[in-house]
Chain A
Protein backbone atom coordinates (compact mmCIF):
# COMPACT_ATOMS: atom_id res chain seq x y z
CA UNK A 1 0.00 0.00 0.00
CA UNK A 2 1.33 3.39 -0.90
CA UNK A 3 1.39 5.93 1.85
CA UNK A 4 -0.60 9.09 1.13
CA UNK A 5 2.24 11.26 2.41
CA UNK A 6 4.54 9.75 -0.23
CA UNK A 7 2.00 10.42 -2.95
CA UNK A 8 1.60 14.04 -1.99
CA UNK A 9 5.36 14.43 -1.70
CA UNK A 10 5.89 13.20 -5.25
CA UNK A 11 3.19 15.47 -6.61
CA UNK A 12 4.60 18.44 -4.75
CA UNK A 13 8.05 17.70 -6.18
CA UNK A 14 6.66 17.71 -9.71
CA UNK A 15 4.27 20.65 -9.34
CA UNK A 16 6.31 23.01 -7.21
CA UNK A 17 9.94 21.91 -7.19
CA UNK A 18 10.65 21.32 -10.89
CA UNK A 19 11.23 17.57 -10.61
CA UNK A 20 11.59 16.11 -14.06
CA UNK A 21 13.42 13.62 -16.20
CA UNK A 22 15.74 15.86 -18.14
CA UNK A 23 16.37 13.70 -21.15
CA UNK A 24 15.81 10.36 -22.80
CA UNK A 25 18.71 10.03 -25.18
CA UNK A 26 18.84 7.29 -27.79
CA UNK A 27 22.38 6.31 -28.73
CA UNK A 28 22.66 5.06 -32.30
CA UNK A 29 25.74 3.52 -33.85
CA UNK A 30 26.45 4.79 -37.37
CA UNK A 31 29.39 2.47 -38.01
CA UNK A 32 27.35 0.56 -40.59
CA UNK A 33 26.68 3.82 -42.47
CA UNK A 34 30.32 4.35 -43.43
CA UNK A 35 30.74 4.77 -47.17
CA UNK A 36 33.39 6.37 -49.37
CA UNK A 37 30.64 8.22 -51.21
CA UNK A 38 29.58 10.94 -48.80
CA UNK A 39 26.10 11.29 -50.29
CA UNK A 40 25.40 7.60 -49.86
CA UNK A 41 26.80 7.74 -46.31
CA UNK A 42 24.58 10.73 -45.46
CA UNK A 43 21.53 8.96 -46.81
CA UNK A 44 22.32 5.89 -44.72
CA UNK A 45 22.76 8.10 -41.65
CA UNK A 46 19.45 9.85 -42.23
CA UNK A 47 17.62 6.59 -42.88
CA UNK A 48 19.04 4.78 -39.88
CA UNK A 49 18.28 7.61 -37.44
CA UNK A 50 14.73 7.96 -38.76
CA UNK A 51 14.19 4.22 -38.59
CA UNK A 52 15.50 3.78 -35.04
CA UNK A 53 14.18 6.98 -33.50
CA UNK A 54 10.85 7.09 -35.30
CA UNK A 55 8.90 6.45 -32.10
CA UNK A 56 11.30 8.03 -29.61
CA UNK A 57 9.44 11.31 -29.12
CA UNK A 58 5.99 9.70 -29.04
CA UNK A 59 7.15 7.07 -26.54
CA UNK A 60 8.64 9.76 -24.31
CA UNK A 61 5.39 11.69 -24.39
CA UNK A 62 3.32 8.58 -23.64
CA UNK A 63 5.45 7.67 -20.63
CA UNK A 64 5.33 11.24 -19.43
CA UNK A 65 1.55 11.22 -19.53
CA UNK A 66 1.07 7.82 -17.98
CA UNK A 67 3.36 8.38 -15.02
CA UNK A 68 2.68 12.08 -14.66
CA UNK A 69 6.39 12.94 -14.87
CA UNK A 70 7.58 15.72 -17.16
CA UNK A 71 10.19 14.38 -19.61
CA UNK A 72 11.77 17.52 -20.98
CA UNK A 73 13.96 16.36 -23.85
CA UNK A 74 14.16 13.52 -26.30
CA UNK A 75 17.53 13.44 -27.98
CA UNK A 76 19.85 11.38 -30.10
CA UNK A 77 23.56 10.66 -29.76
CA UNK A 78 25.49 9.12 -32.64
CA UNK A 79 28.89 7.60 -33.35
CA UNK A 80 31.56 10.34 -33.60
CA UNK A 81 31.13 11.61 -37.15
CA UNK A 82 34.91 11.85 -37.63
CA UNK A 83 34.85 8.06 -38.04
CA UNK A 84 32.45 8.37 -40.96
CA UNK A 85 34.30 11.34 -42.38
CA UNK A 86 37.48 9.24 -42.44
CA UNK A 87 36.11 7.22 -45.34
CA UNK A 88 35.56 10.26 -47.58
CA UNK A 89 38.65 12.40 -46.99
CA UNK A 90 38.19 14.71 -49.97
CA UNK A 91 34.74 15.91 -48.97
CA UNK A 92 33.72 18.42 -46.28
CA UNK A 93 32.04 16.64 -43.34
CA UNK A 94 29.47 19.48 -43.10
CA UNK A 95 27.19 17.32 -45.25
CA UNK A 96 26.96 14.91 -42.33
CA UNK A 97 25.93 17.75 -40.02
CA UNK A 98 23.16 18.69 -42.41
CA UNK A 99 21.98 15.07 -42.62
CA UNK A 100 21.90 14.88 -38.80
CA UNK A 101 19.97 18.14 -38.59
CA UNK A 102 17.40 16.99 -41.13
CA UNK A 103 17.01 13.66 -39.33
CA UNK A 104 16.56 15.47 -36.00
CA UNK A 105 13.79 17.57 -37.52
CA UNK A 106 12.10 14.55 -39.06
CA UNK A 107 11.92 12.56 -35.82
CA UNK A 108 11.22 15.65 -33.69
CA UNK A 109 14.12 15.55 -31.22
CA UNK A 110 15.55 18.85 -30.03
CA UNK A 111 19.26 18.01 -30.27
CA UNK A 112 21.46 15.42 -31.90
CA UNK A 113 24.96 15.01 -30.51
CA UNK A 114 27.97 13.34 -32.07
CA UNK A 115 29.49 15.76 -34.53
CA UNK A 116 32.58 14.72 -32.68
CA UNK A 117 36.17 13.60 -32.84
CA UNK A 118 38.28 11.77 -30.26
CA UNK A 119 41.82 13.04 -30.60
CA UNK A 120 43.30 12.67 -27.11
CA UNK A 121 46.34 10.90 -28.46
CA UNK A 122 46.45 12.32 -31.97
CA UNK A 123 44.55 12.99 -35.15
CA UNK A 124 43.41 10.03 -37.23
CA UNK A 125 42.05 10.25 -40.77
CA UNK A 126 38.86 12.33 -40.66
CA UNK A 127 39.51 13.94 -37.27
CA UNK A 128 41.27 17.05 -38.48
CA UNK A 129 38.80 17.70 -41.29
CA UNK A 130 35.90 17.32 -38.89
CA UNK A 131 37.37 19.71 -36.32
CA UNK A 132 38.14 22.20 -39.07
CA UNK A 133 34.51 22.02 -40.23
CA UNK A 134 32.89 22.52 -36.80
CA UNK A 135 32.38 26.31 -37.09
CA UNK A 136 30.59 25.99 -40.41
CA UNK A 137 28.63 22.89 -39.32
CA UNK A 138 27.31 24.60 -36.19
CA UNK A 139 26.41 27.77 -38.05
CA UNK A 140 24.41 26.10 -40.82
CA UNK A 141 22.55 23.66 -38.55
CA UNK A 142 20.29 24.21 -35.60
CA UNK A 143 20.10 20.97 -33.67
CA UNK A 144 23.54 19.48 -34.14
CA UNK A 145 25.92 19.43 -31.17
CA UNK A 146 29.63 18.92 -31.39
CA UNK A 147 32.30 17.70 -29.00
CA UNK A 148 36.01 16.99 -29.20
CA UNK A 149 37.94 14.91 -26.68
CA UNK A 150 41.43 16.35 -26.41
CA UNK A 151 42.78 14.53 -23.37
CA UNK A 152 42.44 11.59 -21.04
CA UNK A 153 44.05 10.23 -17.91
CA UNK A 154 45.36 7.30 -19.95
CA UNK A 155 46.69 9.29 -22.92
CA UNK A 156 47.64 12.70 -21.58
CA UNK A 157 46.65 15.93 -23.30
CA UNK A 158 46.99 16.52 -27.03
CA UNK A 159 48.26 20.10 -27.03
CA UNK A 160 48.02 20.39 -30.83
CA UNK A 161 44.30 19.75 -30.46
CA UNK A 162 44.10 22.19 -27.54
CA UNK A 163 45.66 24.90 -29.71
CA UNK A 164 43.32 24.07 -32.57
CA UNK A 165 40.18 24.10 -30.40
CA UNK A 166 40.90 27.62 -29.15
CA UNK A 167 40.70 28.79 -32.75
CA UNK A 168 37.67 26.63 -33.53
CA UNK A 169 35.68 27.98 -30.58
CA UNK A 170 36.44 31.57 -31.62
CA UNK A 171 35.56 30.92 -35.25
CA UNK A 172 32.31 29.18 -34.25
CA UNK A 173 31.29 32.20 -32.18
CA UNK A 174 32.24 34.57 -35.01
CA UNK A 175 30.14 32.71 -37.57
CA UNK A 176 27.09 32.90 -35.31
CA UNK A 177 27.75 36.41 -33.95
CA UNK A 178 24.39 37.56 -35.31
CA UNK A 179 22.64 34.95 -33.08
CA UNK A 180 24.39 35.78 -29.79
CA UNK A 181 27.25 33.44 -30.77
CA UNK A 182 25.02 30.43 -30.12
CA UNK A 183 27.22 28.09 -32.18
CA UNK A 184 29.78 28.01 -29.38
CA UNK A 185 27.06 26.96 -26.92
CA UNK A 186 26.74 23.73 -28.91
CA UNK A 187 30.43 22.86 -28.78
CA UNK A 188 32.22 21.15 -25.89
CA UNK A 189 35.88 20.30 -25.46
CA UNK A 190 36.40 17.29 -23.19
CA UNK A 191 39.02 15.53 -21.20
CA UNK A 192 37.97 11.94 -20.31
CA UNK A 193 34.72 12.17 -22.30
CA UNK A 194 32.22 9.46 -21.30
CA UNK A 195 30.86 7.34 -24.13
CA UNK A 196 27.34 7.05 -22.73
CA UNK A 197 26.56 10.62 -21.71
CA UNK A 198 22.91 11.52 -22.40
CA UNK A 199 23.42 15.27 -21.90
CA UNK A 200 24.09 17.84 -24.58
CA UNK A 201 26.16 19.32 -25.98
CA UNK A 202 28.63 16.56 -25.20
CA UNK A 203 26.62 13.43 -25.99
CA UNK A 204 28.01 10.96 -28.48
CA UNK A 205 27.62 7.23 -28.95
CA UNK A 206 30.92 5.57 -28.09
CA UNK A 207 32.42 2.76 -30.13
CA UNK A 208 32.09 0.29 -27.26
CA UNK A 209 28.34 0.83 -27.12
CA UNK A 210 25.74 -1.51 -28.66
CA UNK A 211 24.00 -0.73 -31.95
CA UNK A 212 21.28 1.21 -30.18
CA UNK A 213 20.77 2.09 -26.52
CA UNK A 214 18.58 4.21 -24.24
CA UNK A 215 20.27 6.45 -21.68
CA UNK A 216 18.39 8.68 -19.30
CA UNK A 217 19.48 11.82 -17.49
CA UNK A 218 17.55 12.85 -14.40
CA UNK A 219 17.35 16.21 -12.76
CA UNK A 220 15.90 17.94 -9.74
CA UNK A 221 18.01 20.66 -8.09
CA UNK A 222 14.77 22.28 -6.90
CA UNK A 223 13.79 19.14 -5.01
CA UNK A 224 17.13 18.93 -3.23
CA UNK A 225 17.02 22.60 -2.27
CA UNK A 226 13.47 22.29 -0.94
CA UNK A 227 14.40 19.23 1.11
CA UNK A 228 17.31 21.14 2.68
CA UNK A 229 15.12 24.17 3.33
CA UNK A 230 12.60 21.97 5.10
CA UNK A 231 15.30 20.43 7.29
CA UNK A 232 16.33 23.80 8.70
CA UNK A 233 19.35 24.01 11.00
CA UNK A 234 20.94 20.60 10.85
CA UNK A 235 24.61 19.75 10.76
CA UNK A 236 26.48 19.01 7.56
CA UNK A 237 26.37 15.21 8.01
CA UNK A 238 22.60 15.45 8.03
CA UNK A 239 22.72 17.71 4.98
CA UNK A 240 24.62 14.99 3.13
CA UNK A 241 22.04 12.40 4.21
CA UNK A 242 19.15 14.55 3.01
CA UNK A 243 20.82 15.00 -0.39
CA UNK A 244 21.40 11.25 -0.63
CA UNK A 245 17.80 10.37 0.19
CA UNK A 246 16.47 12.91 -2.29
CA UNK A 247 18.87 11.80 -5.01
CA UNK A 248 17.72 8.22 -4.44
CA UNK A 249 14.09 9.13 -5.11
CA UNK A 250 14.94 11.22 -8.15
CA UNK A 251 17.07 8.46 -9.62
CA UNK A 252 14.47 5.77 -9.00
CA UNK A 253 12.11 7.81 -11.10
CA UNK A 254 14.75 8.03 -13.83
CA UNK A 255 15.36 4.30 -13.67
CA UNK A 256 11.63 3.61 -14.04
CA UNK A 257 11.41 5.87 -17.09
CA UNK A 258 14.56 4.36 -18.60
CA UNK A 259 13.29 0.80 -18.15
CA UNK A 260 9.90 1.66 -19.55
CA UNK A 261 11.33 3.50 -22.55
CA UNK A 262 13.71 0.64 -23.23
CA UNK A 263 10.84 -1.88 -23.11
CA UNK A 264 8.49 0.12 -25.32
CA UNK A 265 11.13 0.91 -27.91
CA UNK A 266 12.69 -2.58 -27.77
CA UNK A 267 16.09 -1.01 -27.29
CA UNK A 268 18.49 -2.07 -24.53
CA UNK A 269 18.68 0.12 -21.44
CA UNK A 270 22.13 1.65 -21.10
CA UNK A 271 22.55 3.87 -18.06
CA UNK A 272 20.95 6.44 -15.85
CA UNK A 273 23.04 9.57 -15.46
CA UNK A 274 22.80 10.62 -11.80
CA UNK A 275 22.74 14.29 -12.36
CA UNK A 276 21.52 17.53 -10.94
CA UNK A 277 20.99 19.56 -14.07
CA UNK A 278 19.76 23.11 -13.57
CA UNK A 279 17.64 25.21 -15.91
CA UNK A 280 17.27 28.98 -15.95
CA UNK A 281 13.82 28.57 -14.31
CA UNK A 282 13.61 30.01 -10.81
CA UNK A 283 13.89 27.22 -8.27
CA UNK A 284 15.76 24.86 -10.60
CA UNK A 285 19.22 25.97 -9.64
CA UNK A 286 22.29 24.14 -8.30
CA UNK A 287 23.67 27.44 -6.99
CA UNK A 288 20.60 27.81 -4.76
CA UNK A 289 21.34 24.41 -3.18
CA UNK A 290 24.81 25.62 -2.27
CA UNK A 291 23.30 28.81 -0.87
CA UNK A 292 20.76 26.75 1.09
CA UNK A 293 23.72 24.96 2.69
CA UNK A 294 24.70 28.30 4.18
CA UNK A 295 26.57 30.45 1.68
CA UNK A 296 25.56 34.08 1.29
CA UNK A 297 25.95 33.64 -2.45
CA UNK A 298 27.38 30.98 -4.73
CA UNK A 299 31.06 31.80 -5.30
CA UNK A 300 31.73 32.69 -1.67
CA UNK A 301 34.62 30.93 0.06
CA UNK A 302 33.23 27.54 1.04
CA UNK A 303 31.52 27.01 -2.32
CA UNK A 304 33.95 24.32 -3.46
CA UNK A 305 33.45 22.37 -0.23
CA UNK A 306 29.65 22.58 -0.49
CA UNK A 307 29.77 21.48 -4.12
CA UNK A 308 32.07 18.56 -3.28
CA UNK A 309 29.60 17.36 -0.66
CA UNK A 310 26.66 17.80 -3.00
CA UNK A 311 28.32 16.03 -5.91
CA UNK A 312 29.36 13.08 -3.78
CA UNK A 313 26.01 12.74 -1.99
CA UNK A 314 24.11 12.80 -5.30
CA UNK A 315 26.18 9.84 -6.51
CA UNK A 316 25.89 7.91 -3.25
CA UNK A 317 22.12 8.34 -3.18
CA UNK A 318 21.66 7.61 -6.84
CA UNK A 319 23.92 4.63 -7.28
CA UNK A 320 21.68 2.23 -5.37
CA UNK A 321 18.60 3.47 -7.17
CA UNK A 322 19.72 2.39 -10.61
CA UNK A 323 20.99 -0.89 -12.00
CA UNK A 324 23.45 0.83 -14.34
CA UNK A 325 24.93 4.21 -13.69
CA UNK A 326 27.07 6.16 -16.11
CA UNK A 327 27.44 9.30 -18.16
CA UNK A 328 28.62 12.33 -16.27
CA UNK A 329 26.77 11.67 -13.00
CA UNK A 330 27.01 14.58 -10.59
CA UNK A 331 26.05 18.21 -10.22
CA UNK A 332 26.31 20.43 -13.26
CA UNK A 333 27.37 24.05 -12.95
CA UNK A 334 26.54 25.69 -16.28
CA UNK A 335 26.56 29.41 -15.62
CA UNK A 336 24.01 30.74 -18.12
CA UNK A 337 21.61 27.84 -17.46
CA UNK A 338 21.32 28.37 -13.71
CA UNK A 339 19.45 31.31 -12.20
CA UNK A 340 21.62 31.33 -9.07
CA UNK A 341 24.88 31.14 -11.04
CA UNK A 342 23.71 33.97 -13.32
CA UNK A 343 22.93 36.14 -10.29
CA UNK A 344 26.28 35.29 -8.70
CA UNK A 345 28.17 36.07 -11.91
CA UNK A 346 26.31 39.35 -12.30
CA UNK A 347 27.13 40.46 -8.78
CA UNK A 348 30.76 39.30 -9.28
CA UNK A 349 30.49 36.91 -6.33
CA UNK A 350 31.38 34.18 -8.81
CA UNK A 351 34.53 34.45 -10.89
CA UNK A 352 35.96 32.21 -13.56
CA UNK A 353 38.84 31.25 -11.25
CA UNK A 354 36.37 30.10 -8.57
CA UNK A 355 34.47 28.19 -11.23
CA UNK A 356 37.70 26.48 -12.24
CA UNK A 357 38.24 25.30 -8.68
CA UNK A 358 34.63 24.11 -8.52
CA UNK A 359 35.14 22.00 -11.62
CA UNK A 360 37.63 19.84 -9.73
CA UNK A 361 34.75 18.54 -7.62
CA UNK A 362 31.68 18.77 -9.90
CA UNK A 363 30.58 16.46 -12.65
CA UNK A 364 31.84 18.37 -15.66
CA UNK A 365 33.67 21.64 -16.04
CA UNK A 366 33.63 25.24 -17.18
CA UNK A 367 30.22 25.16 -18.73
CA UNK A 368 28.24 27.83 -20.57
CA UNK A 369 30.47 30.76 -19.68
CA UNK A 370 30.37 33.88 -21.81
CA UNK A 371 33.78 35.52 -22.15
CA UNK A 372 34.79 38.86 -23.72
CA UNK A 373 34.67 38.95 -27.51
CA UNK A 374 38.28 40.04 -27.87
CA UNK A 375 39.63 36.99 -26.00
CA UNK A 376 42.38 35.47 -28.13
CA UNK A 377 42.32 31.87 -29.34
CA UNK A 378 45.47 31.23 -27.27
CA UNK A 379 43.78 32.30 -24.05
CA UNK A 380 40.83 30.03 -24.83
CA UNK A 381 43.33 27.23 -25.44
CA UNK A 382 44.98 28.06 -22.11
CA UNK A 383 41.64 27.70 -20.33
CA UNK A 384 41.06 24.38 -22.10
CA UNK A 385 44.52 23.12 -21.10
CA UNK A 386 43.98 24.05 -17.44
CA UNK A 387 40.61 22.36 -17.36
CA UNK A 388 41.89 19.24 -19.13
CA UNK A 389 44.77 19.05 -16.64
CA UNK A 390 42.29 18.98 -13.75
CA UNK A 391 40.41 16.15 -15.44
CA UNK A 392 43.50 14.20 -16.42
CA UNK A 393 45.11 14.26 -12.98
CA UNK A 394 41.88 13.59 -11.06
CA UNK A 395 40.70 10.81 -13.41
CA UNK A 396 37.44 12.63 -13.98
CA UNK A 397 35.60 14.16 -16.87
CA UNK A 398 36.18 17.85 -17.38
CA UNK A 399 34.86 19.98 -20.17
CA UNK A 400 35.00 23.50 -21.52
CA UNK A 401 32.04 25.20 -23.15
CA UNK A 402 32.92 28.86 -23.53
CA UNK A 403 31.09 31.42 -25.60
CA UNK A 404 33.29 34.25 -26.85
CA UNK A 405 30.78 37.13 -27.08
CA UNK A 406 31.93 38.68 -30.33
CA UNK A 407 31.93 42.51 -30.26
CA UNK A 408 30.95 42.56 -26.60
CA UNK A 409 32.95 43.07 -23.44
CA UNK A 410 32.86 41.96 -19.81
CA UNK A 411 29.72 43.08 -17.98
CA UNK A 412 27.48 43.00 -21.05
CA UNK A 413 25.09 40.09 -21.50
CA UNK A 414 24.37 37.30 -23.95
CA UNK A 415 20.89 35.87 -24.30
CA UNK A 416 20.38 32.50 -26.01
CA UNK A 417 16.82 32.02 -24.86
CA UNK A 418 15.22 28.76 -23.78
CA UNK A 419 17.21 26.18 -21.89
CA UNK A 420 20.59 27.65 -22.81
CA UNK A 421 19.61 30.75 -20.86
CA UNK A 422 21.44 34.03 -20.64
CA UNK A 423 24.16 35.58 -18.57
CA UNK A 424 26.82 38.18 -18.10
CA UNK A 425 30.14 38.11 -19.90
CA UNK A 426 32.73 37.19 -17.29
CA UNK A 427 36.15 38.72 -16.79
CA UNK A 428 39.14 36.61 -17.66
CA UNK A 429 42.86 36.99 -17.04
CA UNK A 430 44.19 38.75 -20.17
CA UNK A 431 47.83 37.61 -19.78
CA UNK A 432 48.91 35.55 -22.76
CA UNK A 433 49.81 31.84 -22.71
CA UNK A 434 50.59 32.06 -26.46
CA UNK A 435 54.10 30.64 -26.28
CA UNK A 436 53.03 27.66 -24.18
CA UNK A 437 50.15 26.91 -26.53
CA UNK A 438 52.28 27.25 -29.68
CA UNK A 439 54.73 24.58 -28.49
CA UNK A 440 52.33 21.80 -29.48
CA UNK A 441 53.03 18.15 -28.66
CA UNK A 442 51.44 16.07 -25.96
CA UNK A 443 51.40 16.38 -22.18
CA UNK A 444 52.42 12.89 -21.03
CA UNK A 445 49.85 10.82 -19.16
CA UNK A 446 50.23 11.19 -15.39
CA UNK A 447 51.29 8.45 -12.96
CA UNK A 448 47.61 7.89 -12.18
CA UNK A 449 47.29 6.27 -15.60
CA UNK A 450 49.60 3.41 -14.67
CA UNK A 451 47.15 1.31 -12.71
CA UNK A 452 47.80 -2.05 -14.34
Chain B
Protein backbone atom coordinates (compact mmCIF):
# COMPACT_ATOMS: atom_id res chain seq x y z
CA UNK B 1 0.00 0.00 0.00
CA UNK B 2 1.23 3.46 -0.88
CA UNK B 3 0.65 6.72 0.93
CA UNK B 4 1.35 10.37 0.35
CA UNK B 5 3.04 12.47 3.00
CA UNK B 6 2.77 16.21 2.52
CA UNK B 7 4.55 18.85 4.55
CA UNK B 8 3.33 22.41 4.23
CA UNK B 9 4.46 25.47 6.11
CA UNK B 10 7.29 27.84 6.83
CA UNK B 11 10.68 26.60 5.68
CA UNK B 12 12.93 25.54 8.54
CA UNK B 13 16.21 23.64 8.74
CA UNK B 14 15.97 19.88 8.78
CA UNK B 15 12.34 19.24 7.80
CA UNK B 16 13.21 16.64 5.17
CA UNK B 17 15.76 14.98 7.46
CA UNK B 18 13.35 14.76 10.33
CA UNK B 19 10.46 13.28 8.32
CA UNK B 20 12.66 10.80 6.48
CA UNK B 21 14.35 9.66 9.70
CA UNK B 22 10.99 9.03 11.22
CA UNK B 23 9.87 7.06 8.16
CA UNK B 24 13.03 4.96 8.16
CA UNK B 25 12.61 4.14 11.85
CA UNK B 26 9.29 2.41 11.20
CA UNK B 27 10.17 0.73 7.92
CA UNK B 28 8.41 3.17 5.60
CA UNK B 29 10.20 3.25 2.24
CA UNK B 30 10.39 6.61 0.47
CA UNK B 31 9.77 6.17 -3.25
CA UNK B 32 9.82 9.73 -4.47
CA UNK B 33 10.15 13.23 -3.10
CA UNK B 34 9.26 16.53 -4.69
CA UNK B 35 9.65 19.79 -2.90
CA UNK B 36 9.48 23.47 -3.57
CA UNK B 37 10.14 26.59 -1.56
CA UNK B 38 8.15 29.56 -2.72
CA UNK B 39 8.68 32.84 -0.89
CA UNK B 40 9.70 31.01 2.27
CA UNK B 41 6.72 28.63 2.12
CA UNK B 42 7.78 25.04 2.05
CA UNK B 43 5.80 22.36 0.22
CA UNK B 44 7.09 18.81 0.17
CA UNK B 45 5.31 15.79 -1.23
CA UNK B 46 6.63 12.30 -0.49
CA UNK B 47 5.35 9.07 -2.02
CA UNK B 48 6.01 6.25 0.36
CA UNK B 49 5.48 2.51 0.45
CA UNK B 50 3.99 1.54 3.78
CA UNK B 51 3.62 -2.19 3.18
CA UNK B 52 6.67 -2.78 5.40
CA UNK B 53 5.56 -0.35 8.08
CA UNK B 54 6.20 -1.81 11.53
CA UNK B 55 3.57 0.23 13.35
CA UNK B 56 -0.17 0.55 12.64
CA UNK B 57 -0.92 3.19 10.02
CA UNK B 58 -2.88 5.32 12.53
CA UNK B 59 0.20 5.55 14.75
CA UNK B 60 2.30 6.71 11.83
CA UNK B 61 -0.30 9.38 11.05
CA UNK B 62 -0.39 10.51 14.69
CA UNK B 63 3.36 10.65 15.18
CA UNK B 64 4.04 12.54 11.95
CA UNK B 65 1.20 14.97 12.67
CA UNK B 66 2.77 15.63 16.05
CA UNK B 67 6.23 16.08 14.53
CA UNK B 68 4.71 18.65 12.19
CA UNK B 69 3.08 20.51 15.05
CA UNK B 70 6.37 20.63 16.94
CA UNK B 71 8.14 22.09 13.92
CA UNK B 72 5.38 24.56 13.11
CA UNK B 73 4.43 22.90 9.81
CA UNK B 74 1.41 20.92 8.75
CA UNK B 75 2.00 17.26 7.92
CA UNK B 76 -0.67 15.10 6.29
CA UNK B 77 -0.32 11.37 5.75
CA UNK B 78 -2.99 10.04 3.43
CA UNK B 79 -3.66 6.83 1.54
CA UNK B 80 -2.93 7.42 -2.16
CA UNK B 81 -6.39 6.17 -3.20
CA UNK B 82 -8.03 9.39 -2.08
CA UNK B 83 -6.08 11.34 -4.71
CA UNK B 84 -6.64 8.71 -7.38
CA UNK B 85 -10.36 8.75 -6.67
CA UNK B 86 -10.70 12.51 -6.77
CA UNK B 87 -8.46 13.32 -9.69
CA UNK B 88 -8.54 10.37 -12.07
CA UNK B 89 -11.46 8.92 -13.97
Contacts and interface: CB of A to CB of B under 8 A. Distances in A.
A51 interface: no
Given A62-B58, A68-B76, A256-B81, A249 B86 contact: yes
Nearest to B35: A4
Interface in B59-77: 61, 74, 76-77
Contact of B86 (A4, A62, A66, A253): A253
B87 A2 contact: yes
A268 B41 CA distance: 45
A6 B6 CA distance: 12
Interface string A217-252: 000000000000000000000000000000001001
Given A3-B87, A15-B74, A65-B58, A10 B43 contact: no
Contacts of A249: 86-87
Contacts of B76: 11, 68
Given A2-B4, A4-B34, A15-B74, A10 B83 contact: yes
B87 A4 contact: no
B77 A6 contact: no
A42 interface: no
A218 to B, nearest CB: 11
A255 interface: yes
Nearest to A8: B43
Given A4-B34, A256-B81, A11 B6 contact: yes
Interface string A123-137: 000000000000000
A253 B34 CA distance: 24
Contacts of B74: 15
Interface in A253-274: 253, 255-256
B85 A255 contact: yes
A253 B76 CA distance: 17
Given A11-B8, A67-B81, A256-B81, A6 B86 contact: yes
A10 B58 contact: no
A69 interface: yes
A336 B81 CA distance: 35
Contacts of B45: 4, 7-8
Nearest to B34: A4
A255 B83 CA distance: 13
A69 B61 contact: no
Interface in A1-48: 2-4, 6-11, 15
Interface string B1-25: 0001010100000000000000000
12 contacts: A2-B83, A3-B87, A4-B45, A6-B83, A6-B87, A10-B86, A65-B58, A66-B79, A67-B81, A68-B82, A255-B85, A256-B85
